[in-house]
Every structure is written in C-alpha cells, then in structure tokens.
Structure 1
C-alpha cells in the first residue's frame, strides 16, 4: 500500500480499517445528517453480497441490489471455484445453499439443510427427507427419512418401516418393511450386506434382498465388521459370534466376546481352552491353548503382520496365518516387531526371524525395536533393534546382521533436516555421540560433543565439535580431515569442495581456506571476507601483507589479486582492489586487468572529505552508482559513464529494474524550509523512462516514497499555490493518474486507485479512468483485506447521505429501500 503525499508535506495518516474521513482528522459527519435514513447498510464482502437492516428486518442483497437472502446460517468448508458452496442461508423462512459465485447450489426452498457430513447433506422439504451429493450435485428422491450407508446404498424410511435404496438402480434394493438398519461405515472395506432389525430381532440382509443371517439376535453398535463374521450380536444376553456363510454360532465360556484376529481367524473357546478357526469356519488350531492373543499393546498402530501369541503350559509362542505355529510355546515372553520376534527365557532376550532362525542369542536383558515409540507409531520400515546389558545399550541391524556391542547410555533415531524423516541412529556415552547409518556402518565414532552434516544430501562429511571448537570428519575415510580447532567452518558460495575456516570474533577475524582433503589452501591470515556474485569468495587484508585472493566456490580455484585489499561490488567478474585501503580501482580477475578510468575511494576507508569518487554496489543490470564531488552518476562495467554525475540523491534499482535520480532545488517561502528535489525514473539501461521531471520534498527518498509494487509515484508542485500533488505512472513511465491529487493509494493489486483532494475522495480504475469523481466525503473500504480492499458496489458518503455506487459510478437502487439512502455504523470500522 502506497503512503501518499498530502498538503503541507505531511504523509498520509490513512490507517483506519475502512472509513476514510474520520481517520484523516476532518469532515466529521453532522449529528443529524442521517435522521431520515430508513435502513442500515454494510460493506459488500468479497463474495458479492451485503447486509441491509430496514427497521426490524435484516436481509442481504446482491450486486444488482436485489434481495438475495435473509440470514447467513453457517459456512461450508473452503472451495476453489466460484461454483462451489459458500454457506447455508435462509430466505422467507426457507433454507438454501449459496455458491461462491452468488448463485445457488440449492435454492432456498428447504425446511432444513444439515451439512455436517460433508459429502452428503441431509435436506428436508414438505416434511420429506433426501440426501444431496455435494460432489455430484445430485439429489436423491424424498422419503420420510433417509440415511447414508456407502454412497450407492441408502437406508430410507417409508411410513414407519425402513428399506434400502440403490442409487445406481434408482429403486429399492431391500423393501421398506424393516424396523431399522445398521452398517459398518468405518470398516476398511464395504460390505454387500446390512444389519437389519425385524420384530425386535436382528439379522443380516444382503443388498440383493436375501436374508443372510436369520432374525434371532440382539444387537448393539460396537465391534462392527464387514467380513464373514458378526461380532456385535448376542443371544439371551450372551455374546455370540456368527459366521455369515454357514450361520454357525460361537460363544465364550464367560461374558467377554471372542477375539477375531487381523486375518479374520476367530479365537474359539471350548471348555476353557482356546483354538482358531479360519474365515471358512474350518479348524486351524485345536482348542488346547491357554490363551491366543494379538501381539503387543496398542497393536492397531504399532503392529502389523499375520501373527498371534499362543500360550501353553505357561509358555508363549507365535502363530502365523497360513503356516500354523511358527515358534513353539517354549518362551517366557514374546514381542512381535513386524516380521521379527524378541523372545525371552529365564530373563534373557534374543531375536528371531520368521523362519525361527536365531539372529541374536538370548543373552541380553532386553531386546526392543530402536523406535522407542513403536507401540504408538510402528517400525516406520526400520529393521534396527536396541540390545541392553545392564545399563548400557547396543545395536543390531537386521538387514545386514551388523552388531554393535552395548556401550551407550542412550540410543535415538535422528533426522538430517528439520522435521525430516529419521535417517541415522545416534548413540550417546558420557556426553559424546556416535552416528550410524541404517545398514550399521559407523559414520562417526564416539569422541565428539555434537555434530551436524556438512551437506544434508550426503552422509560423508560431518562438522564435529570438541571442546567448543569445530572440525570436519570424513565418514568414508573414517578420520578427521580438519581438526577441531576453529570457531566456525562455513561453506563458500558455490558449495564446492572447499571450506572457509574462521577464528576470532568481531573486529578480530582470521579467515583461511581448507580443501576437503584437509590440506590448507589459504593460510588463516585474512581479516576480511566477502562474497562475489553468489559463486566466488573474496579474502583480503592479510596480516602477513599478502595479496587479496578470489576463490571460485565451485571448483576451489584460488586467484591472487594485484593488491592487498579487495572489496566486492556485488557484480560477477569485478572487484574493487586497493594497495593502501584508501584509493581503489575496478579489476576484472577474468581478464586479469584493471578497468580503465575507474579510480575510486576504497569504501572501507571512505571519508566525505576525500575528493575521490565513491563506487557503490552495482545493480544486477551492470550499472553502478558513483558519487563524485557529492553528485551521483551511473557507470557501466567497462568503466564508461552511462549517466554523468548530475544527481544529488539516488535510489538503487528496484526488483523491476527502475531507479530514481534526484536534484536539489532551493527552498522558498512556499516550499517549506527543508527544500525540494526534482526527480526522474531511470530504466535498467540508465536512461530516463520519460522526459518528465517530478517534484518531492527532499526528506522523501525511500523506496516507499517512489515505488508501490510495479507502479511509480509521480508528483508536481502547483504553480500558483505551491502545493504538492501526487499521481501514478506504470513501470514504463506512462502516466495513469496525473499528479493533481493530494494523495493516491493503490488497492486490489493495482485494479483501483484511491484519490483524495483536501478531504474529498474518489476512485479510478487500473487505466486511470475515473469511476467515482473526487467529491465524496467518505468511502467504506477495508484497507487490510489485501487484494479486495475495494469492493463494488461501494458505500459512499456525499451531501449528508450514504449510498451504494456501482463500478460504473452509478447509484445502486436497493430492493426494499425506496429512498436509497442508508445509515452506516462507522464505529465498526
């Protein structure tokens, strides 16, 4: 948002939320100005409607002034297109759903609309109910009641009975003669049947209308399934499990229900012993076990696999689906980690695979998965285990068989980037850390207080810290290549195979260069570091009097410069060099020679009293501001003047390649004591965009005073009054809004310009055409709603009246408000 220039050299104080006049300190509204107004109006929102209150009635109008609806009930989730729904509204006591475009998703003709279930909304009309598919824009037929089953089938009520409606066949799949239905909507797979109630008893009905399980059971909505088993039935108060294909019933000895494993096997109970039958009701394990349970606590997240724990004779084993008992019940305890089994006997733990092969002999006090949160988050695909001997932890990497003996106090997984996935294993012992990859290869041995990767895309180089100093460790060579003797190690621009070493602190830095093989390329003698063009580094001010050097950050090539001191000018291929740190010249390391006619003061030692020219940084377009005898000009990279030093003050090129050059002209009685500048906009070639010269107070020389996005702020002084006027030009210098206003602001990303003269306001469009002349006392807008600060129709105040004006500059006639004038609650803004 542009801060505009108003009369008397004050910057705009337009900072209020929407109402302009009150925040400008003038043009307050007469107390009796609105006594005759019959309605209260609000600003149009970005969706194209506004609220009107007339007497005790409130309604909303569209941009044409027509009554659109009466009340806004609730929002409906976000959507990308204008045709998507916005919210539930009412009109004349009926409900509808408004689209973001202002049209109707559902017209306001319903008694109720319930949008809580997202994909399907429940609607009621004339006492009947239906479901509306938000995605497909489809409305089911109306019934006495309706419920959602799976998107194709719906349970519907006709009179006092329920049936199932098939949307694809457009008819009832199950006739409406049942007391009610239940369905496993949250099951992983959708079933082809429904739980049905008739004459107070429950059974199973297929969507083909056939009875699958007779109506002989009680039912509660728990343990719902969609496979061959029904677990939620009971008979005479006793839980039973029913096998749908055969109709067989199974029950426990007590009141607790039977367990069904993840693979669909039913744990059956016979005379206090447990066995297994499969989903075809065939026996898998005889009923001779003391317990059969799913592995691990919280198995629904921390466990996957076709396994169960079987217990016999007080010992535990492992059952695998399709193979039977995989690990005989000979163990004191069992934990299952995906396809690995931690088994314990006599207090000692070992690790075994699915073939029963011993991976770790039972000699540890504990064997657990390396992910300490396995029970809540699973293995994350990692096949690494922690072993424990007394107070120390070791590691076992199952994929490679690599064993690390217990020697750590703590072991954790670590990521290589912030919020990234786990990628390495870190062991800690007495404040020192070791790092392993997921194959078990030791990347970093114990001996370092902390570490970080030199490059997160590679596990080769580690920045290590010891006794507060940094060094570099090579995981491939398994040795330090740069000893931990530096305050910092930094990457050079270009991210090549070289390292900047840093010792000391502010005012006493010592910089050097090491190669990635550890060899010293440049001794740590330099006191000044700078970057050049994003791929080069510059070191100068060597304590030993050596020359400044330029380092190619990609290849590591070092180029000596013909001077002790050097400075970046922020342009690739050029540096400023100096023998005495007082006078300097441009130098091209590529050409190996100085740029002709390029003598300057060395910026680090620059003094306003010197007569030498001062080169400021170059722009990305190859032009640099040079100060000579207090004036600025533009120099190209060959040392040629593009613009002679004629400007007293300048602004650097902005992101769009436009700079500002300004000349002072004296203060006068009518121009304030601070004086003024005459300024031009310069293109990336250094030439003025146009021949026009504009005027500004000389305290105006910040980017915000001249640029607003891609637009340029132009000003001129009125010949007769000396008042400063503002306007707007585009990025080519073409005038859009001539400089004849006290203030101009850019809104809606350049779609509109807010104009002011004195305490009157108007609006122009993006081409500068006047929409509203500058004759309004107030306008209602929201300057903080970026991109839609100005919305039409707009409430505008003139001649003691608030009225809506369209983007054609015409007064909007509002349905239900014959006078067309309004009261506006300015206190809300």
Structure 2
C-alpha cells in the first residue's frame, strides 16, 4: 500500500514552516505571545496595571488615579519596568520617570544572574535590526549600532557582531579587541576559566575571555572547549591545551580524547587493537585512572563505560564499579537521571543476544533478543518554564527469530513475540500497528490494549489526522475512523495524494482519480467526492497565496504538467513530489511557486515567495530569501541567481536557466479570468 504520508513532506513541511514563522498558525501565535496576565502589581511604584482590551492601564494603588494608559506591554524588573506605548519601548523607574526614553522598537531583560542588563533594539528602515545594551540606570553600555549582542553571564562578557565580525566586550561595554573574528563560540557550560574558540576563515584559535587575548594561535585545526581544557584535532591527530593555552598533551595520531563532564575527567584512549590503553586526568592533571587499568573508556553521562579483558562494565563519577566488566558491548540507549544501556551477550559466533540495564546495573530486559527498539514519548508532566516535555521510555519493540513482540518500559510482556511486524504510527503517537498472518490491528503501545481489531490487511494513519486511517481490506483501500466507522468504502486501488490543510484526499479506482473532501462536524466525519477537477483549479491551490490573500494577476503552468492527468501521472511516476498543480503565480512584485515540487530539481531550499523583476521581454524571479519589499534594489543586483522567463508568444514563456536546474523550460499561461 502506498503510504498516505510518502509525498507530503516537501510542500507541506516548507509551507508549515513558513506559516509558523509568519505567525499564521495558531501554534505560532501561542509561541510568539505569552499569555496576558489578569493583573500586574508593582509595589515599588505603588502601581497596579490591568488589561484594558489589548493594552494596560496602570493606576495608583493609593487613590486609583491613572498614571499610565495605552501601555501595550508591561514587564517589571525590580526597581524599574519595561513598557511599550504605541510601539515605542522605554524603561521607567518606580516614580514613573523615564530611565530610558521611548525611542526603541524593543527592549528585553537578559534575565540572567548578575547585574540588571537590558537588550535594546532599533529597527531601521530597509536595514537589519541593530542592538545595544543599557543597565538599570539607563546608562548605555554598548551603543545601539551592532547587528547582534549576546551576554555570557558566567564570564560577564558580551559577544558583539558588527560587519560580519565578532568582538568581545567586557561588563562595562569596553571592546577588548582591536580586530574581531569571523566567529567567537560561546562556551558550553560557561566556565569562567575556559578558553573560547574563535574562527577566522579556515583557521581556529582560542582566546581568554578575561582579556580577549589570543592564547592558542590560529591554525588549521578544530578546537573544542571542554571543561577547563581545549581539545584540538588536526587530520587524524588529537592533543590538549590547558586554560592558559599551554599544550599539555602533544598532538598524536594514536590517541582519542574526550572530556567527561560528570566525572570532571579528561579521558585519553591510546593505541589500537592489542595495544589499546587508556587513562584519565583530573583538572589538576593528576592521573586518577592509571595506564593499563582499562583498555578503553567511554563517557556516557553519569556513567563511564570501561573495557577490560574483552568485557565492558560501568563506573560512577566517583569511580566506583557499578557494573563489573561482563558484557561484550555496552551502548547508551537513553540518557536521563537513570540512563538505560543496551548490552550484548553473544550466544554463538556471529549471533547476538541484546538486553537492557539501567545506570545502576539493574536488568530491565534480559539479554535474549535479536533486536530491541526503545520508544520514547513525552512525559505526562509538563516541563518547567513551559519547555518541551522530556521524553521518557514508553515501551520496547523486541524481535527474535523474525517475530516481534511488545514489552513495557519495565520489561513486562504486553504482546507476545508472535507478530510479523510492529510499527509506530507517528513520532509522538503511542499507538502501534501490529501485523500477524497478514492482518493488521491498532494497539496502545503503553498498555498493549487493542484499539482496532485485526480486520485489515494494512493500516496507516492518514497524514495530518489523529483519528483517520487509510486501510486495506480484500485488496481494496478505504478510510476508517478510530471508532471503526467506515468513512470511505473499501473500493479503491491506490492512494494518490492528500492534503490535511485543504482536507482533501485523492484515491484512484480503475485508473480514474477521485477527490474526497473530508468534513468534520460535531465530532463526526463525512465526505464529499468528485471525479471532476480533482486537483482544483490551477490558480486556486497555492496555500501561500490563499492564506496571505495576495493579489495575483498571472498564472502559468509548465507545459509537461499543464493538464490534470499529466500532473497525476507525474506524481505517480515520481516526476512531481505531489499530485498538485506546480503553478507559478505572479503579483506585481512577487512570484509564488514551489520549486521543490519538481522531484529532479537541483536547487537549494528556497522560500515559496520570491522577488519578481519585470522587464519588456518578460520577467525574472530571484532565487533568494531576501524580499524586494525590504530592499527595492534587489532587481538591479547582478550577483543574485535568477530564473529568466522570456515571452515567446502572448501565452507562452521560455525559461533560460530552468533546464540547468532540471525544471521544465516551457510555461503556458492559464487564463484566470476564463475560469
């Protein structure tokens, strides 16, 4: 059965990302806007601010008189507050006086330990945002003229970007560098003593954040700041520098070096084969795990895997033996407070028996399986500060002798090892499709309970829906609901395409394509079908045009795909990624086209809205993410790649560069007014 999701990714993924970035989807609005509190109290200023429609009104707690009105945003930061009035942001003190005048387009608090610092932004016309920094007294520490400003609170330093160069500023806003670098990498854990890696062209070096001085000279090596050390890699050699930039382990090809953060140890593995050796140094360069105790060591979060006498075990950060060397392999399966590890106990030459232990060595799954697949699902409890919920073990799909079974996160049997296949429906979906003797059923992976009985030959989730399934029965396709209701009868030969945004589904029957519109009302599904214009009108199906309500005046179709059956055949034969019109729509200044629709197109990932440049012979579209609305000079640029369309007849265009990118070069005008 052709998957109901096999052709959805290119157009849908790009479009959804575009909508999210534009704030056109509900999720995007929720992510971009914090919930409005019912009331904000500012005791230091004796003020209470309450929502008044889309704005706040701030009144005195003493007599109720209005102190501020039409405040669009209000954020208290101790003795001062950030407010937005009519799109201009300022900082005021507890008496209502301006600490910083309202001349900025956005102000935010760095919200880190240390002194109260504020990021200031100005949005200059036809230029990118410029940023600067002030303190709670309104003193400008870094002028508002830089492309980006990042604050590293542990080091009390700023990384400031200007003219594609990064500079280092101290906490008082003083530039510590005469010349910047192409990039300054922020440290992983922000240790005060660690060096920061810088890059200039193909070379890397390291600076001291206290002074900005280059302590490790630029060279053609890769540098990684790890704990108090810098690990250097050049070709097949590795070495280590300390936090003063002095080499402590010379570059050598026979050593592999890593930093074990939880154990605060530098792990060094040397040699290969029979000469394997390893040792560990602490931050003071003392050898705490001596040479020849273990052949190999690998850090895994709170555990260190050790290899001795051809067996693997685990150590704690205190170097206590948690699991004595006894397994032929140990690999981390899931990292958490109690991590899970995949273990291997060979049964015979070339065969494996896999199991699972936790970080304390407790056996979760006995080593008896040929394959183990752990499914992680979001935890039931929300994460702190509204972050994404952490993934936790949900169940295991195991196999032995080409038969599959289902085990709980604690190792209990939920489904016996009797199935031909067990597959997850979707990434964060706990449901499974379990197939046995050519009959597929739907199962809750967390409990093993049956949701849909084994009445179907094949079963898959319809893309974009949580309760609709594409199923096959007696060799024919249909659509059912999660409550076993047959929504589309089992009468169709193949899945053609589907679009959950438009709530449409295309299925073929005896070579003819049927278009179904899926309709939901009061938690019940219904359908409407047609065999006419199953793809819709060519100029009405561009979702970007529809959602932005752009005023388009011209519509073109590539000649090989200018008729509905050609598009359907192109999708079936793999020439088009979807069964949808690959149309080109033009407004006065923009072109709307999904170039990724052509399966053989050789182009980078591009927006679906491109700048349009008209001339007397036709027009060109610029292959850039820039917008002509932001930069009216784009059309005059000779450095931007473009597709040039020359008018050969009143209704035909020839694209000069299209064939170079494996895109059709002849395009035909579709008369929008006639339809």
* TM-score relative to the length of structure 2: 0.39
Structure ranking higher on relative contact order (CA contacts 8 Å, 6+ apart): 1
Higher helix share: 2
Asked which structure has the greater CA Rg, the reply is 1
